[in-house]
Amino acid sequence: MQAKDIIDLDQLLPSDLKEIIQTAGVIKENPTYFTDHCHGNIMATLFYEPSTRTQMSFQAAMLHLGGKLIGFDDPSNSSVSKGESLKDTVRVVSNYADLIVIRNSCEGAALAASLYARCPVINAGDGGHLHPTQTLTDLVTLSYEKGRLDNLTVGLCGDNKNGRTVHSLIKSLAKYKNNRFVLISTPALQAPKYVIDCLKAQGCAYSFSESLEESIGELDVLYMTRIQKERFANLAEYEAQKGVFVLDKQKMARAKPDLRVLHPLPRVDEITIDVDDDPRAKYFEQTEYGMYARMALIMRILEKRRREVPPKQADTHDRTCGNPRCITQLERYLPKWFDEREGKLVCRYCEYEN
């Protein structure tokens, strides 16, 4: 595998992704075979944001592989509370660990961390931007529950604007042939432009919908997401959006017999409890697939040898990203790093079009 870090699944070659998915399946069937695969390795989990499934899934994955853990799940209990920069935290922790897994509320934080780490960095979620290992979980789940990753009609329902899991999944499934996307949300929570641009670039069919009830019958996969209170500027905006889309038994009655319902969890009120017993609901099984997916990824990325701190990235342009949620707004020392696309500057960290 050529990728040194996993910031976005785009970094993986199709052959690498296929091998990781297949390896996850092998682990599922033969977990004890891999018990000591990472013996002697240390993984640091740096979670600046709350997490249950992602953090525990990574920790369980490393422990099942025979590795050890360090890190924090509350920055107030670390030197971050004293004002330590991301750069300094990562530079120090990478002296102790063979792998860093980071979650941060700022978009582009994982990429920023990779600029200063002496070990591989895995993005465990950067604000409302990306969540590549959740997408890897989703791909493994679909591969075994649907038997394919192509020729699917995929509905994504809820917070398509701020849902990093939605963005990552769309970007990945868009690469498989004949996949079609139904983006189900209120107008205020539609997917951002860079996600739509990805669909256009891949030539994927897509449509917008404001009715889950009307759309569910055409779907092979329904990916539900919660309305994320923590992504809204104020409570009034959140209250106006929550509870609009709710999956219940009545809507499930309209769905195909082989529909698969996924959810990155946690859920709030967007899926009623009575759906849990429907055999088409796979969100709890999804969490188990996620552990095997992360075990496979950890094994592959730890094949990379320890490295020196990457060379300093030079500024590409003399300007600052206009996204208030970008990591560069907080960590001002970061190089100003932009790509030029269609005459506009796109921030390399958060993909915001400036």
The DSSP secondary structure of 281-309, one letter per residue, reads B-HHHHHHHHHHHHHHHHHHHTTSPP-PP
Q: What is the pLDDT of residue 128?
A: 80
Tell me if 9-131+289-301 shares its fold with 133-284: yes
Give how far Cα 188 sits from Cα of 207, 237, 241, 294, 352, Å. 16, 10, 8, 33, 18
Question: 98-114, pLDDT tens digit by residue?
Answer: 999 999 999 999 999 99
Q: Helix or strand or coil: residue 148?
A: coil
Question: 280-297, pLDDT tens digit by residue?
Answer: 999 999 999 999 999 999
Residues of the chain with pLDDT under 50: none
Q: Which CATH number fits domain 9-131+289-301: 3.40.30.10, 3.40.50.1370, 1.10.10.10, 3.40.50.720?
A: 3.40.50.1370
Report which residue type is found at 272.
T
Residue 43, phi then psi, degrees to nearest 5: -110, 130
State the Cα–Cα distance between residues 302 and 287, nearest whole angstrom: 23
Q: What is the pLDDT of residue 31?
A: 86
Q: Which two tokens stand for residue 9?
A: 């699944």
Q: Which CATH number fits domain 133-284: 3.40.50.720, 2.40.128.20, 3.30.160.100, 3.40.50.1370?
A: 3.40.50.1370
Question: 7-45, pLDDT tens digit by residue?
Answer: 998 899 889 999 999 999 999 999 889 999 999 999 999
- Confidence (pTM): 0.88
Ordered by start, the domain boundaries in the chain are 9-131+289-301, 133-284, 316-354
State the Cα–Cα distance between residues 11 and 172, nearest whole angstrom: 11
Residue 169: exposure state from Cβ atoms within 10 A (0-12, 13-18, ≥19): buried
**CA trace torsion 151, 153, 157, 162 (10° rounding):** 40
